[in-house]
Structure 1
Amino acid sequence: MDLSVFHLTVPLWEIILRGSVVYWFLFLIFRSILRRSMGSVGVSDFLFVVIIADASQNAMSGDSKSISDGLVLIAVLVFWNMLIDWLSFKYKWVRRMVEAPPLVLIKNGVLQLREMRKEFVTKDEIMAKLREEGIGQVSEVKQMQIEMDGEISVVRYEEN
Structure 2
Amino acid sequence: MKRILILNGPNLNLLGTRQPEVYGTTTLADIEQMCADKAVAMGISVECRQSNHEGVLIDWIHEARGAFDGIIINAGAYTHTSIAIMDAVSSVEVPTLELHLSDIHTREEFRHISYVGRVAFDAIMGHGADGYPMAIERMVQHLG
Which has a greater percent of helix?
Answer: 1
TM-score of Structure 1 vs Structure 2, range by shorter chain: under 0.3
Which has a greater percent of strand?
Answer: 2
TM-score, normalized by length of structure 2? 0.24
The structure with the larger Rg is 1
